[in-house]
Structure 1
Amino acid sequence: MRKGFAAKRVAATAMAVAMTTMSLAGCSSGNKEGTTKAEETTQAASGETTAAVAETTAGEENDKPYAGTKLTWWVKLNANVSATYPNLGDTPWAKYVQEKTGIEIEFIHPTVGSEKEQFSIMVASGEYPDIIEHQWVSYAGGPGAAIEDGVIISLNDVFEEKAPNMKKLLKEHPDIDKMVKSSDGQYYCFPFLRGLESPNITQFSSGFVLRKDVLDELGLELPETIDEWENVLRAYKDYGFEIPFVTRSEWMKDVWSPGFDNWGNFYVEDGVVKHGLIEDSRKEMIAKLHDWYEEGLISRDWLVDDKKSSQTYFTTEKSAASYAPFGQGLGQYTQILHDAKPEITQELIRSTVPVTSEKGKNAKFSKMNQIYDKSGVSAAISTSCSNVDAAAWLLDWMYSEEGNLCCNFGIEGETYEMKDGKPVYTDVIMKNPDGLSVSNALAAYTRASTSGICVQDPAYIEQYYEADNQKEALQLSMKTDMGKHFFPPTSVASEDSESYADIMNNVTTLSDEMEAQFISGTVSLDEWDNYMKQLKDFGIEDAIAMMQKAYDVYMAN
């Protein structure tokens, strides 16, 4: 167990006594004296499964080898699920999985809005559910530290002996094999994957949304560069739109920074790890947003704007441009406007390419997702797991042909039908008779749309984005070189983790505060050099060096 972790566990356990708001019924208790949880569980796992069970896959005679087994599964409750069901276990997807596998699953959800705090309390308690879904890449010290801390088990033997579908997938895709290993070479999770090869359409889910009818009337083209965007936003303002551009607060800077070849996070260029916060181009971007803020081209409430307010501004015609998801953004915006004004059709609500520094050139950066990264979760088997073999079999089933169809398309004959060898959604998904939106129906019958453990199938996204303007937007969003600059899904070395966390907590807090004040004008850009000095005094360059070391280890593995 890592130095300092035990002390944190004691402190957090004391907090848990006062703060516990969820039940972990069904979880096993702590360590046996003299044996770590990781050792104890791995020993049990290695002796329980025969080669015959390890080779069993869906469709064979013994297709429910663990029928009657009960497992607990800790997972955040997705908003699209909670809109209809109070627990993932109540969904048709969960009931179908339990029917097909014979395994009874109790899903445990942390309180919405307190997921991070409750995860920390659970980790500190030393008592865990059988399966834990989490963003393990972001665990302090990395996934390897979670194994060392006795929270989850190494899956090296599990993948080799008990997970034939995952073993096959990783053998065929060595890049993904590297992604789901800790820095010391230990498999730790069954991952949520956005496809299997990059780039692919499942890695793109959002982009610009514009009123093209107004641009046509004004004789303007869809913008690509910052200068073109500035002309368009000013034209929208003059036309009468109160707030030309609006988006969620957390997206505002990432949407526009690519226009300056800047990215406000770690990225890689020719093998060198960099961070855009301390590059000169960052100041250019912030200065431009300040100008737009002063002109009223972007929302003056951008710090509190969210999904709901962005939709309201655009669909009530207070805004003419936004950055939004292709499904619940572009798709819903188009439908709402068309319902209010039938003359506004999807041909008049369009998208454009990620903003670029040079017209006709791919954007260097964009809000593209990695195949596997911190934005998605993965499922690990805890050291308290009551039946490692059953947990491994269940999770591996998700990557079988049957499991993949279930996670992406739901129930054959109900939510999809096979046509010309391909799964095609029925009206239960696309035109739900109970009035569910496509996104809510997908969340009820599948897990691909809610970042659940599985491999997202491109056919899911092709059908989800059914309108022509959505399909066009998806293709336009791929005009980026972001894939060349991703920092891989790895973490700093365990010995650096506490120092790195302290540095980046300070850096993030300072940068969020200062950049917001620069944009609003409450702090003059004359203070930029002092701000840069503060970031460096906090140790951002040391953090970059730590990430460089982590990157080098990752690439060498």
Structure 2
Amino acid sequence: MKITWSKGLTVMLVFVLTAMLISGCTGANTIEENTKANSNTPSETNADEAPIEVGYPAAMTYWVGMDGDSMATLSNFNEVGAYKELEKITGTKVDFKHPGGDGAQVTEQFNLMVASGNLPDVIQTNWLTVPRGPQNAIKEGTVIRLNELIEEHAPNFSKFLAENPDIASMIKTDEGDIYSFPFIRGDDKIKIYYGPIIRTDWLNKLNLQPPTTIAEWETVLTAFLNDDPNGNNKKDEVPFLFSAGEVRNEALNQLIGAWDILAKFYQEDGVVKYGEIQPEYEQFVTTMRSWYEKGLIDQDFAAVDGKLKDAKVTGDTLGAFYGFASGSIGKYLDLVKDHPTFEIAPLPNPSLVKGKNSAAGQISPSYPGEHAVAITTAAKNPAEIVKWLDLGYSEQGSMLFNFGIEGESYEIVDGSPKYTEQITKNPDGLAFKQAQAQYMRTHFGGPFIQDVQSFLQQMKYPQQLAALDAWGQAENDIQLPPMTLTSEESSELASIMNDVNTYSEEMIVKFIMGVEPLSSFPEYVENLKSIGIEQAVTIQQAALDRYLQR
């Protein structure tokens, strides 16, 4: 069985009629009662009556992390052109609450906020990754179920769900509850943005063809090491910058797809497996150990951060690496534009067999989970907030979030929106995404459908567009869909995986560097089993089974 993220599933919006509470109830307003009161069930109308028309909220509080491109010039999202225009359209004054710090600090602040019960009206986050999952957030009274409110007050989003039943299934819990207004990638090209990159000028100088298999990669990397492709008469070339973290990152899957597995959880014909205990993972680690011994992998790979990577690329010493279409190919071609020969290009994700596509590379689902907006039980006017959020899925809202303000950040050219030089050649010297951040949210995410043209207009080099085709050749059939776990499953899985991740992150580096002999691999597998990885697989299998039954 082949699982994709475009499986046709039927959209079901569940209608619940709430019975009137009779005598015997106290006047106390418990969290559970608040949740029921905000459960969006039309309790005062019959099922065949038209929903009551509501206006936009006068004001609302909105908790959302601020991305780096926004922080470069903004202190608050009220300064973003799209949100300024939304206030003109709706009259709604939004009080944005931005947590400070990095990812871990933002997560800590989110957890403290939820635990305190001092909630804003809406929260934007990845609800698939919150402790104990989105269904539990509804049951515990943190956020409200949105199904009926969406049907009654969100015509644009309702129309989108009716036309895209596969996505409608993704954004629900296993119990059928819609918990947020999601960020949706609106085209397959937007889902692919990361993969292998190589110095094509080095290939040309050494009369080599772009490699497509692991064996061909080794041949090319060996030539990069020994044949002085940068021409400085020094043996200073670093053939390949390997990243163990990006191998284990389930969204990126660096190199591992060549062995027809992922490092962590994946599925074959609906059966969940865990990569690091498979024989193929031992083969992968053995190959990386051999490359490291031969000098084909950066000897300091475990300590290389983004700045060091930039220095190796711009310093004319790095031959091959994994990176992003915009943040790597575009950036490095800009930074090294004065180099007389510097050229980089994407490669397809390699396989073991000539002519065969890699089993997996990087791909994002249409609904990646991140940037989703939920309405909390603290909101006094959830219907009005739903109407406001629905604008993001309208044509007008789509233009605002994807392109900003007409006449400032974009113009209509031949019937299509085209970014102005305020974005593409910012007069203040801002990078493309920093300039976008002043006007729109497509550079990062939010409650709207990302337009493919807003993505493709970032690509000013042909190598960037070629990357979408090259990296898109991977089969990408074995990745798990965006599933939800029960509260109990979420807690148990998190406990197991905290220990697994700590152990495995250490061991992959030790195996590759030779600190731990490869003869210890069977012991490593047994240790993972003792930590509980087989129980983790059982949990993921149950979640996948439920997902397939939605």
Q: TM-score, normalised by structure 2?
A: 0.88
Match of 1:92 in 2: 81
Partner letter of residue 167 of structure 1? S
| 2:34 equivalent to 1:37 | yes
Query: How far apart, CA to CA, are the structure 2 residues paired with 1:45 and 1:466?
Result: 50
Taking a change above 3 Å as real, the CA distance of residues 102 and 263 of structure 1, as seen in their structure-2 partners, is same
Q: Give, in angstroms, the shift of residue 250 of structure 1.
A: 2.7
Structure 2 contact 182–372 (Cα < 8 Å) conserved? yes
Query: Residue 167 of structure 2 is aligned with which of 176, 198, 201?
Result: 176
Query: How far apart, CA to CA, are the structure 1 residues paired with 2:312 and 2:111?
Result: 37
| 2:440 equivalent to 1:446 | yes
| 2:68 equivalent to 1:79 | yes
Match of 1:485 in 2: 478
Taking a change above 3 Å as real, the CA distance of residues 301 and 106 of structure 1, as seen in their structure-2 partners, is farther
Query: Which deviations, in whole Å up to 9, do the C-alpha atoms of 1:45-74 show, x marking residues without a partner?
Result: 8669983636xxxxxxxxxx326x111111
Taking a change above 3 Å as real, the CA distance of residues 321 and 35 of structure 1, as seen in their structure-2 partners, is closer
Structure 1 contact 66–390 (Cα < 8 Å) conserved? yes
- Please say which of residues 246-255 and 94-103 is displaced more in the overlay: 246-255
Query: How far apart, CA to CA, are the structure 1 residues paired with 2:66 and 2:176?
Result: 31
Query: How far apart, CA to CA, are the structure 2 residues paired with 1:470 and 1:489?
Result: 27
Query: How far apart, CA to CA, are the structure 1 residues paired with 2:355 and 2:90?
Result: 51
Match of 2:53 in 1: 53
Secondary structure in structure 2 of the residue aligned to 1:209: strand
Q: Give, in angstroms, the shift of residue 43 of structure 1.
A: 6.2
Taking a change above 3 Å as real, the CA distance of residues 44 and 541 of structure 1, as seen in their structure-2 partners, is closer
Query: Which deviations, in whole Å up to 9, do the C-alpha atoms of 1:277-305 show, x marking residues without a partner?
Result: 21111111112222222333222332332
Query: How far apart, CA to CA, are the structure 2 residues paired with 1:326 and 1:146?
Result: 36
Structure 1 contact 337–344 (Cα < 8 Å) conserved? no
Match of 2:181 in 1: 190
Q: Give, in angstroms, the shift of residue 36 of structure 1.
A: 3.3
Q: Give, in angstroms, the shift of residue 34 of structure 1.
A: 7.2
Secondary structure in structure 2 of the residue aligned to 1:449: coil
Match of 1:364 in 2: 359
Taking a change above 3 Å as real, the CA distance of residues 43 and 205 of structure 1, as seen in their structure-2 partners, is closer
| 2:121 equivalent to 1:122 | no
| 2:481 equivalent to 1:522 | no
Q: What are the residue-to-residue correspondences of 1:31-430 with 2, within 5 Å?
A: 32-33=29-30, 35-42=32-39, 51=51, 53=53, 65-66=55-56, 69-113=58-102, 114-195=105-186, 200-238=188-226, 239=228, 240-246=235-241, 250-252=245-247, 254-339=253-338, 341=339, 343-344=340-341, 348-374=343-369, 376-430=370-424
RMSD: 2.1
Q: Give, in angstroms, the shift of residue 366 of structure 1.
A: 0.6
Query: How far apart, CA to CA, are the structure 2 residues paired with 1:34 and 1:169?
Result: 32
Query: Which deviations, in whole Å up to 9, do the C-alpha atoms of 1:59-115 show, x marking residues without a partner?
Result: xxxxxx326x11111111111111221222222233233233321112112222201
Query: How far apart, CA to CA, are the structure 2 residues paired with 1:144 and 1:34?
Result: 16
The structure where helix makes up a greater share of residues is 1
Partner letter of residue 84 of structure 1? T
Taking a change above 3 Å as real, the CA distance of residues 493 and 52 of structure 1, as seen in their structure-2 partners, is closer
Q: Give, in angstroms, the shift of residue 373 of structure 1.
A: 2.6
Taking a change above 3 Å as real, the CA distance of residues 234 and 548 of structure 1, as seen in their structure-2 partners, is same
Query: Residue 476 of structure 1 is aligned with which of 470, 477, 481?
Result: 470
Q: Give, in angstroms, the shift of residue 353 of structure 1.
A: 0.7
Query: How far apart, CA to CA, are the structure 1 residues paired with 2:468 and 2:483?
Result: 28
Secondary structure in structure 1 of the residue aligned to 2:197: strand
Structure 1 contact 72–129 (Cα < 8 Å) conserved? yes
Structure 1 contact 142–490 (Cα < 8 Å) conserved? no
Q: Give, in angstroms, the shift of residue 349 of structure 1.
A: 1.7
Q: Give, in angstroms, the shift of residue 358 of structure 1.
A: 2.2
Query: Which deviations, in whole Å up to 9, do the C-alpha atoms of 1:109-130 show, x marking residues without a partner?
Result: 2222201111111111112111
Structure 1 contact 417–423 (Cα < 8 Å) conserved? yes
Secondary structure in structure 1 of the residue aligned to 2:118: coil
Q: Give, in angstroms, the shift of residue 313 of structure 1.
A: 1.2
Q: Give, in angstroms, the shift of residue 319 of structure 1.
A: 0.9
Query: Which deviations, in whole Å up to 9, do the C-alpha atoms of 1:371-419 show, x marking residues without a partner?
Result: 1134x22110111113212321121110110111111111112111222
Query: Which deviations, in whole Å up to 9, do the C-alpha atoms of 1:136-186 show, x marking residues without a partner?
Result: 111233211111111110011111111111111111001000000011110
Match of 2:531 in 1: 538
Structure 1 contact 503–539 (Cα < 8 Å) conserved? yes
Secondary structure in structure 2 of the residue aligned to 1:190: coil
Structure 2 contact 69–433 (Cα < 8 Å) conserved? yes
Partner letter of residue 169 of structure 2? K
Query: How far apart, CA to CA, are the structure 1 residues paired with 2:459 and 2:185?
Result: 16
Match of 2:501 in 1: 508
Match of 1:554 in 2: 547
- Please say which of residues 134-143 and 164-173 is displaced more in the overlay: 134-143
Structure 2 contact 221–239 (Cα < 8 Å) conserved? yes
Q: Give, in angstroms, the shift of residue 512 of structure 1.
A: 1.1
Q: Give, in angstroms, the shift of residue 537 of structure 1.
A: 1.2
Q: Give, in angstroms, the shift of residue 241 of structure 1.
A: 4.2
Query: How far apart, CA to CA, are the structure 2 residues paired with 1:264 and 1:46?
Result: 49
Query: How far apart, CA to CA, are the structure 2 residues paired with 1:510 and 1:46?
Result: 52
Q: Give, in angstroms, the shift of residue 249 of structure 1.
A: 5.6
Secondary structure in structure 2 of the residue aligned to 1:395: helix
Partner letter of residue 232 of structure 1? V
How many aligned residue pairs are there?
Answer: 507
Secondary structure in structure 1 of the residue aligned to 2:280: helix
Query: How far apart, CA to CA, are the structure 2 residues paired with 1:444 and 1:266?
Result: 38
Taking a change above 3 Å as real, the CA distance of residues 434 and 52 of structure 1, as seen in their structure-2 partners, is farther
Query: How far apart, CA to CA, are the structure 2 residues paired with 1:535 and 1:247?
Result: 24
Identical counterparts, % of pairs: 35
Query: How far apart, CA to CA, are the structure 2 residues paired with 1:44 and 1:52?
Result: 12
Structure 2 contact 215–352 (Cα < 8 Å) conserved? no
Runs of 4+ in 1 over 6 A off after TM superposition: 43-50
Query: How far apart, CA to CA, are the structure 1 residues paired with 2:467 and 2:117?
Result: 46
Q: TM-score, normalised by structure 1?
A: 0.87
Query: How far apart, CA to CA, are the structure 2 residues paired with 1:549 and 1:450?
Result: 32
Secondary structure in structure 2 of the residue aligned to 1:258: helix
Q: What are the residue-to-residue correspondences of 1:446-465 with 2, within 5 Å?
A: 446-465=440-459
Partner letter of residue 404 of structure 2? G
- Please say which of residues 526-535 and 95-104 is displaced more in the overlay: 95-104
Secondary structure in structure 2 of the residue aligned to 1:320: strand
Structure 1 contact 326–473 (Cα < 8 Å) conserved? yes
